């Protein structure tokens, strides 16, 4: 019994020691480093992940995830650039033919062009291309902020186009044309943000 108690105390002490070591790695966390690193470096600083095992086989494992650009490693810079240029051209074409093709069409036709329905549009998974292109940007912070705005605007345009599919019906419903026009307004904003992003590259 004495040996078992001693072993238990030893394992408990080892567990506490491992936890203490984990809290000290790294000695200075990302948040406290941010002022000295600046905005640009802070955005690029990976967050450490610490995993601690408890018991006789206690161990300390510190893993630092790769940069955000590595998440889209399958897409190289040339491919991302080509996709982005095609995406911008698609937005331009969508607006150029709006009155003749899309204003009186269905929400699904718009969503197909936006890449939110089907996979034929270059806007499909455009977020991955933008993550790759971020490293090419003249101002990475500005590019990141504009990327967020681009994706949010794209989402709003898709939402309005989707709503147009279910508008109408009995009572006093909102006509589909109202949602189509709201989608149009968001796509105009999308074009403006896309132009700003292109200037960064």
pLDDT tens-digit map of 11-29: 555 555 554 444 444 444 4
User: Which H or E run contains 2?
Assistant: helix 2-23
Domain region containing 104:
77-200
Instruction: Identify whether 24 is part of a domain.
Output: no
Q: Is residue 178 part of a domain?
A: yes
Q: Could you give the percent of the chain with pLDDT greater than 90?
A: 56
Give the separation between CA 109 and CA 115, rounded to whole angstroms.
10
Token pair, residue 32, equals: 């406290």
How long a stretch of residues is the chain? 201
Residue 194, Cβ density class (10 Å: 0-12 exposed, 13-18 middle, ≥19 buried): buried
Q: 16 or 188, which is more confident?
A: 188
CATH classification of the domain holding 177: 1.20.120
Confirm whether 57 is domain-assigned. Answer: no
| Assigned domain for 54 exists | no
Neighbours of 34 (CB within 10 A): 14
Contact 129, 87 (CB under 8 A): yes
Residue 71 clears pLDDT 60, i.e. is over it? no
The token pair at 191 is 């074009």
Give the model's pLDDT for residue 64. Answer: 37
**pLDDT value at 181 more than 50:** yes
The C-alpha atoms of residue 72 and residue 80 are separated, in whole angstroms, by: 10
Question: How far is residue 112's CA from residue 190's CA, in Å, rounded to a whole number?
Answer: 16
153 part of a folded domain: yes
* C-alpha span between 200 and 81 (Å, rounded): 12
**What pTM value is reported for the model?**
0.64
Cβ atoms of residues 146 and 153 within 8 Å? no
pLDDT tens, position by position, 91-133: 999 999 999 999 988 999 999 999 999 999 999 999 999 999 9
Q: What is the pLDDT of residues 41-51, one digit of tens each?
A: 545 555 444 44
Residue 51 φ/ψ, nearest 5 degrees: -120, 125
DSSP 157: H
What does residue 22 show for φ and ψ, rounded to 5 degrees?
A: -65, -40
With respect to residue 181, please indicate whether it lies within any of the assigned structural domains: yes
Total number of domains in the chain: 1
Q: Is residue 182 part of a domain?
A: yes
Q: Mind listing the pLDDT tens digit for each residue in 120-129?
A: 999 999 999 9
Q: Is residue 186 part of a domain?
A: yes
């Amino acid at each position: 019994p004495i040996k078992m108690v001693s072993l238990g105390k030893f394992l408990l002490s080892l567990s506490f020691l491992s936890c203490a070591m984990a809290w000290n790695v790294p000695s200075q966390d990302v948040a406290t480093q941010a002022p000295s690193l600046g905005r640009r470096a802070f955005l690029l600083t990976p967050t450490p992940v610490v995993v601690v095992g408890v018991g006789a086989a206690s161990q300390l494992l510190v893993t630092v995830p790769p940069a955000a650009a590595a998440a889209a490693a399958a897409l190289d810079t040339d491919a991302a650039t080509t996709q982005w240029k095609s995406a911008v051209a698609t937005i331009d074409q969508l607006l150029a033919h709006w009155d003749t093709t899309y204003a009186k069409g269905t929400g699904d036709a718009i969503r197909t062009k936006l890449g939110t329905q089907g996979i034929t549009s270059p806007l499909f998974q455009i977020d991955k291309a933008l993550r790759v292109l971020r490293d090419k940007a003249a101002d990475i912070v500005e590019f990141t902020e504009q990327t967020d705005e681009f994706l949010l605007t794209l989402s709003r345009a898709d939402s309005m186009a989707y709503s147009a599919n279910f508008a109408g019906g009995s009572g006093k419903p909102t006509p589909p044309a109202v949602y189509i026009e709201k989608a149009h307004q968001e796509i105009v904003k999308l074009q403006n943000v896309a132009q700003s992003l292109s200037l960064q590259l």
